[in-house]
Chains A and B, each alone.
Chain A
Amino acid sequence: MDLLRISTAGSVDDGKSTLIGRLLYDNNALTKEQEELIEKKTVEKGLQDLDFSVITDGLIAEREQGITIDVAHIYFSTQSRKFIIADSPGHVEYTRNMVTGASNAEASIILIDARKGLLEQSYRHYFISQLLRLHTVVFCVNKMDLVDYNEDVFLKIASEIKAMTEQFEDSKPTIEIIPISSLKGDNVVYPSGETSWYQGPTLNEVLHDISSVEEVQKPFRFEVQNVLHVQNDEFIDFRGYAGKISSGSIKKGDEVVVLPSGNRSAIKEIRKYDQTFSEAHAGESVTISLNDDIDASRGTVLALPGELPSGERSLEATLVWLNEQKGIFGGRYILQAGSRTVQAKLQQIHYVVPPEKPSLKVDASELKLNDISRVSFKLSQPLFLDVYSENKANGAFIVIDPQTNNTVGVGFVERTSEL
């Protein structure tokens, strides 16, 4: 059984929580307690249709205000697939939580209210989906029941969506556009009897058909999380580097370059718990031993000669600012990528991009909450990252404000270059 990670996004009152509730309900994936709660709340609120939002709005403040504030992770499985849905907030104020939800997803669902069409948030969410290089984006034109299942309404929104997605030249996710009603259950799991003009798949079919793209072989990247040193009868002077392979593969005997020192050694042992392996691949948490005693500590990167990541002292990135406290030109931050952290200076703000018009480049001297910008950082030490579009697993970093310790931004490497 494979696993698909999805994130949902939309504007306030687009009905994301209702959609997820409907998806689970019609897939018979709710527990008895959840079904009872839905029925109870529906009666309490005097609603005609079942109130599914009670399933995902887990916080008191969310139920009070009737909005989603933070990401909820929903787990469910059908006969053929396991799903993790990151149900993310739609409110502009909580865009950072939407990025949080989408960062680990492979596909995103963007809800559009059929009565309203595309809103600023729709642009923002699509922008973020394509920035993260998600491979499928499903637009659900929701509340079709409130526009009498009118085909023209749907077609108009579909053409707006097409115009929006065509503005992006470099990345082209698979796009699906589906007319649905979460409340009534049209085209979510069951095909609708009301949209005879629509011949496409239901949302459920789309979600089951998305196939994980065959990964192109990426260069080997491994960063040391912990150094394990053991001396006992069984392990005489054992030194292993524990970490998760971010991309590529490695074999026993391979020569590796240890960064930043640039020293070379060969792989002596690849270990997982009490077993050793002749090779290991991306995503595996392993412990690697080398032939030579080499200076390597947390944050050290192992790579293969001939395919080294660039280790320059500056990098250019697309940055999403995630904090109310503004990002300032010349400001000092900490950049973290996996187990690597360096001091960094926000050297340049090239421009800010308005999500609804990505071709526009607006001058800016500071970064406000939710701003999407192109920036350059000067680094105190090299980070050994790749360009995000070529290697997602080794091309992103977070920005930490050393004053508050908060995560204030997320960056996607566009270019690394010598200062």
Chain B
Amino acid sequence: MSVQKHLQTLEEESIYIIREVAAQFQKPVLLFSGGKDSITMAHLAKKAFYPAKIPFPFLHIDTGHNFPETIEFRDRLMEELGVELIVRYVQDSIDQNKVKEETGKYASRNSLQTVTLLDAIEELGFDACLGGARRDEEKSRAKERIFSVRDDFGQWDAKMQRPELFQILNGKINFGENVRAFPISNWTEEDVWNYIQRENLELPSIYFAHDRKMVKRDGAYLAYSDYLNIVESDEIIDKTVRFRTVGDMTCTAAVPSTADTIETVIKENKASKSSERGARIDDKRSESALELRKKGGYF
């Protein structure tokens, strides 16, 4: 009962923020990756403007290394919502020699997304990008404002963040700058799952336990795919797993699990002492990995 009250408070806040973005900016866009946070965002946006349609398009920066289940789900959801989906491909940035494919065992396209994203923002003239990042994910995320101003290079300057008072959101920016807006900043992973349960939201199947061919590397389980540079020390096994967070196939680790319903996933997450981001291999590159990527314009 009281969990519901808490979720309701969060929902009211998020809807307020999404409405502010729609009103204060000329050309907002919602960054959609197909993960549970994006799906929650899409649902909140639908609620914010109903019975009117969501007044902004969605943008997916496609690395080409996605889980096929996510892409299938994405397309179905967009059709259901009736929103315009814009897709920009990291492969195009590679073909244009703007970014270089990483090599070696840990090669991933995750950080390459930044260039594709910044190009898309510039090309399409977006002045606000809504994203499903949460402050509880990681400690540099914990420093993020709800409206986070980025310069014309997409850079985040943590030292120069604007004060943000009460729920008064200052969306005024100079030409060329953009704002990254985070309506679910104050949600935790647990809140997102409880909300998905309450609202009965559908998720890509990979969030629930399934049998999969996996690569065991450094104690982590990665999905077997053509995108992964498999080395001799990797162990290939069949395993029952689920994904707690969904990024690229190359850098998102699974957890061994038999939780195949929302209820059991919530129960299992609660019992776990590990964090969600612990499954993002890219964040483990160094203590400051995510902050450095954000400074460079990453989400």
User: Is chain B a partner of chain A in the same complex?
Assistant: yes
A interface residues, Cβ below 8 angstroms from B: 1-3, 31-35, 37, 55-61, 63, 69-75, 77, 82, 84, 96-97, 99-100, 103-104, 225-226, 228-230, 232, 234-235, 238, 240, 242-244, 271-274, 283-285, 287, 298, 322, 334, 336-339, 396-398, 400, 405-407, 410
Q: Is B170 a contact partner of A104 (Cβ separation < 8 A)?
A: no
CB-CB contacts below 8 Å: B128-156 with A: 135-136, 138-143
For A284, list chain B residues within 8 Å (CB). Answer: 12
Beyond A230-B52, A273-B46, 17 extra complex contacts between A and B, CB < 8 Å: A31-B273, A31-B278, A33-B277, A55-B139, A56-B139, A58-B139, A58-B140, A58-B143, A59-B140, A72-B143, A73-B186, A226-B19, A285-B11, A285-B15, A407-B163, A407-B164, A407-B165
Bound complex: CA of A230 vs CA of B53, how far in Å?
Answer: 9
> B261 an interface residue at 8 Å Cβ cutoff?
no
Contact pick for A410, options B165, B167, B273, B275, CB 8 Å = B165
Q: Is A70 a contact partner of B23 (Cβ separation < 8 A)?
A: no
**Shortest distance in angstroms between B22's beta carbon and chain A's nearest beta carbon?**
6
For A104, list chain B residues within 8 Å (CB). Answer: 166-167
> B271 an interface residue at 8 Å Cβ cutoff?
no
Q: Is B163 a contact partner of A100 (Cβ separation < 8 A)?
A: yes
Q: Is B163 a contact partner of A75 (Cβ separation < 8 A)?
A: no
Top 9 closest A-B pairs, CB basis? A58-B139, A405-B172, A285-B15, A31-B275, A32-B273, A228-B52, A72-B142, A225-B19, A73-B135
**Shortest distance in angstroms between A357's beta carbon and chain B's nearest beta carbon?**
25
For A285, list chain B residues within 8 Å (CB). Answer: 11-13, 15-16, 19, 48
Contact pick for A298, options B23, B159, B162, B163, CB 8 Å = B23
Q: Is A242 a contact partner of B48 (Cβ separation < 8 A)?
A: yes
Give 16 A-B contacts (CB < 8 Å), ordered by A residue: A31-B275, A32-B278, A33-B277, A56-B139, A57-B139, A58-B291, A60-B291, A70-B159, A70-B161, A72-B142, A84-B186, A230-B51, A232-B51, A244-B12, A284-B12, A285-B12
For B9, list chain A residues within 8 Å (CB). Answer: 3, 283
Contact pick for B274, options A33, A84, A235, CB 8 Å = A33
For B292, list chain A residues within 8 Å (CB). Answer: 60
For A32, list chain B residues within 8 Å (CB). Answer: 273-275, 278
Q: Is B158 a contact partner of A396 (Cβ separation < 8 A)?
A: no
For B164, list chain A residues within 8 Å (CB). Answer: 100, 103, 407
Q: Is B172 a contact partner of A396 (Cβ separation < 8 A)?
A: no
Bound complex: CA of A71 vs CA of B48, how far in Å?
Answer: 28
Contact pick for A322, options B23, B163, B273, CB 8 Å = B163
Total of A-B residue pairs, C-beta within 8 Å: 158
B155-187 vs A, CB cutoff 8 Å, 1 = contact: the mask equals 000110111111110101110000000000110
For B50, list chain A residues within 8 Å (CB). Answer: 271, 273-274, 287
For B188, list chain A residues within 8 Å (CB). Answer: 75
For A35, list chain B residues within 8 Å (CB). Answer: 273
For A3, list chain B residues within 8 Å (CB). Answer: 6, 9
Q: A3-B9, A226-B19, A410-B165 are in contact. Are A61 and B158 (CB under 8 A)?
A: yes
Q: Is B165 a contact partner of A396 (Cβ separation < 8 A)?
A: yes
**Shortest distance in angstroms between A123's beta carbon and chain B's nearest beta carbon?**
20
Q: Is B163 a contact partner of A96 (Cβ separation < 8 A)?
A: yes
B267-299 vs A, CB cutoff 8 Å, 1 = contact: the mask equals 000000111011000000001100110000000
For A99, list chain B residues within 8 Å (CB). Answer: 163, 165
For A283, list chain B residues within 8 Å (CB). Answer: 9, 12
**Shortest distance in angstroms between B160's beta carbon and chain A's nearest beta carbon?**
9
Q: A100-B164, A283-B9, A400-B170 are in contact. Are A69 and B48 (CB under 8 A)?
A: no
Nearest residue in A to B276 (C-beta to C-beta)?
A31
> B233 an interface residue at 8 Å Cβ cutoff?
no
B37-66 vs A, CB cutoff 8 Å, 1 = contact: the mask equals 000000000111111100000000000000
For B190, list chain A residues within 8 Å (CB). Answer: 77
Residue among A35, A56, A58, A287 with max Cβ neighbours from chain B (10 Å): A58
